[in-house]
Structure 1
Amino acid sequence: MFSWDFTRSVTGMRLLADFAGEHDLPLSDVLAGTRVTQAQLSDPAAIVTASQELRMTQNLVEKLGHIPALGIHVGKRYHFTAYGPLGFAIVSSRTGRDAMNVAMRYFHLTFAYTRFVVEDTEEHIRTTIHDDEVPQSVRRFIIERDSAALITALRDIFGLESMLELLSFNYEPPDCGSCYEDFFGLKPTYNANQNVALLNKERMEQRLPQANDLALEVAEKQCEVILNQRVARSGLAVQIRSHLALRAADMPAMDAVASRFCMTTRTLRRRLETEHTSFAQLRNEVRRMLADEYLLNLDLPVEQVANKLGYAESTSFINAFKNWYGVTPHAYRLRKACNRPANIDLKNEG
């Protein structure tokens, strides 16, 4: 069973509480069983677990589930400001596609319970919303909310211009189909195999008027700090990460690491899931961390960096790097160099 013990901002619970209050639902009812106090809801620095927010969600659905398209009504409240530094990183990105990359990079800082997988096709950005880990009792609500939150964020970036060209859901048509059409701006397909949103690729790749590289860099640094604080590696994950960092040039496979720690691959995967991470995620974290060090601090050639990170070819490293940051290693290094403050010789001043 999937663990929801990872932490997140209390903002998501505050949004649920505000919605409940507007529908005359006592706060005590929606907080029942969460062990979260009213004082915590009013503290912007408060941290809760995803399981606590999930319990609150279940309470809300139980009490207000009669409202048509309940998840959409809640999801359209998730404007970019709700995500803190991640929201500002998203709106500061160069393009909508870059904004998606940023969101995926720091997905643990969102309030989603579904898993987003973003892929490029010839004409579209395909976003698949996986719901297999969401409890059945709140699954439709969560799908509605997470998909509505995605569209709300896109509208914050692009204004009223619609990027959405097709939307499908894996459940039966809702009683209030017009609620879906009014919000999403099109008629979704129902009883589909997957929950999928197709976004216009050409428009998603256009430069955004509010793009700001320096603001993006500052916001991403804040995201890194928050993420490290919330999901600080402990137990097995920190051991695996250290093990991989020491062997990056000859990056070991998952089965070799499992054997080194005296367990099967299946056990290793399950243990890492309980710490809300995966072998692939830890490996990418190590490679990204070392890539920054080699490119920016040691100023190594791209080919040498690729070799030190265990890539057989520099092309493979460049492709992986573009998936992480949306730019090539060379462009990344130039951007960082341009944003560094100039050195000032104080002896010659005045």
Structure 2
Amino acid sequence: MIFRDFARGPGSVRLVLEFGARRGLPAGRLLAGSGIGLAQLDDPECRLLGGQELRVIGNLLRALGHPPGLGLEMGRHYTFSTFGLWGYGLLNNPTMGDALAWALRFVGLSFAYCSIRFARRGDLAVLHYAPPPGLSAALGRFVAERDMAASANLLREVGGEDFRLSAFELKAGRGRVFSRPADPPRPGGAEPSFRGAAYRLAFPAGFLARRLPHADPLTLSLCERLCREQLERQRVLPDAAQAARDYLSSSDSGVPPSLGALADALHTSERTLKRRLGRAGASFRALAAQERAALAARLVGEERDSLSRVAERMGYASLSSFSQAFRRWHGVPPSAFRRGARGDGPSGVSGSYST
């Protein structure tokens, strides 16, 4: 769970906002619920949690209607300048293989969400990508596409103009977000496959020995020391309650992840997690209820789906049962809340969450 272990700079969120602005989405709409202010994004010393950026990405996906291939489009905008010191260090490695090892060693300084694994398969160098657990299908697909497309960009910049990927495979799945877009980009010069068994990209292993033209051992040594120091500064050790909120907020599914899934994500046992939450004055059940209530308010307020469809997405068998739960959470039925969100009347949100 590398993205939960390290904070990150504001550059990636800025790219998401710029990407949304080109599609007519105001920054305020994309930042809603993330706890990020616009002024923070102009501060190079600002550090954000991964869950905050995931909330911004989730807002983007919902606003655009979850179009297929959006992560591929987004990933094309990630270049060396996006990554600062981490990207600069790549260029100063002696070979492309050394640069790849560097990238994976200091991946906590990138904006990746996937766990990335390298393997040599005969004449191919293969990178495998695994989205973090607990994300919705749409969010998991987006971060996999984005991380892979960004990697293809960087490999192309390191490898030179003649570099070409041998394969760019996206995991097959059901639903619109897994379908092939009308005109998909070709990351790293490869035609993407949308029927893969996993997320992976591959290139000829011979490129690993390619010498890099800007390699400088003294600069590399300096970059390595600074990257180690930066990793330590950005390491995040949140309390259990904050970790649980971060995990729960990264999913826009109506059914919250289980305590066991959260414990696995934090590399601990359910018993230890319960004890840590208790010391923080929280419980998984209460935190899950708060996130569920917040998600319901967000879906109702967006007005993209009918109330019956929102009830279905939240896992309720009928609109009536969902309305009862919504009134318990927010003090008003969802229809009144939606009118208030439009400005047609008071929303009456109470801010209390019953379990």
AA of the residue aligned to 2:97: R
Q: Paired residue for 1:270?
A: 268
> Whole-Å Cα distance in 1 between the matches of residues 179 and 266 of structure 2?
41
Q: Does 1:230 align with 2:231?
A: no
Out of 215, 218, 222, the residue aligned to residue 222 of structure 2 is: 218
Change (3 A) 1:223 1:9: same
Q: Secondary structure at the match of 2:48?
A: strand
Q: Paired residue for 1:205?
A: 209
Q: Calculate the TM-score normalised by the size of structure 2.
A: 0.62
CA contact (8 A) 2:3 2:113 kept: no
Q: Paired residue for 2:89?
A: 89
CA contact (8 A) 1:96 1:157 kept: yes
Q: Paired residue for 1:316?
A: none
Q: Deviations over 1:162-205 (max 9, x none)?
A: 2411121112563325313x444232333322111111111222
Q: Secondary structure at the match of 1:77?
A: coil
> Whole-Å Cα distance in 1 between the matches of residues 265 and 128 of structure 2?
28
Q: Paired residue for 1:79?
A: 79
Q: Paired residue for 2:199?
A: 195
Once the two structures are TM-superposed, the CA of residue 234 in structure 1 deviates from its matched residue by 8.6
Change (3 A) 1:162 1:178: farther
Q: Does 1:176 align with 2:181?
A: yes
Q: Deviations over 1:275-306 (max 9, x none)?
A: xxxxxxxxxxxxxxxxxxxxxxxxxxxxxxxx
> Whole-Å Cα distance in 2 between the matches of residues 201 and 208 of structure 1?
15
Q: Does 1:32 align with 2:38?
A: no
Q: Paired residue for 1:166?
A: 167
Q: Percent of counterpart pairs with the same letter?
A: 27
Change (3 A) 1:58 1:97: same
Q: How does 1:237-256 map to 2 (within 5 A)?
A: none
Change (3 A) 1:210 1:114: same
> Whole-Å Cα distance in 2 between the matches of residues 98 and 87 of structure 1?
13
Change (3 A) 1:162 1:177: farther
CA contact (8 A) 1:5 1:51 kept: no
Number of residue equivalences: 245
> Whole-Å Cα distance in 2 between the matches of residues 186 and 89 of structure 1?
26
> Whole-Å Cα distance in 1 between the matches of residues 142 and 265 of structure 2?
32
Q: Paired residue for 2:343?
A: none
Change (3 A) 1:160 1:41: same
Once the two structures are TM-superposed, the CA of residue 8 in structure 1 deviates from its matched residue by 1.0
Unaligned stretches of 5+ residues in structure 1: 237-265, 275-350
> Whole-Å Cα distance in 1 between the matches of residues 49 and 64 of structure 2?
23
Change (3 A) 1:132 1:3: closer
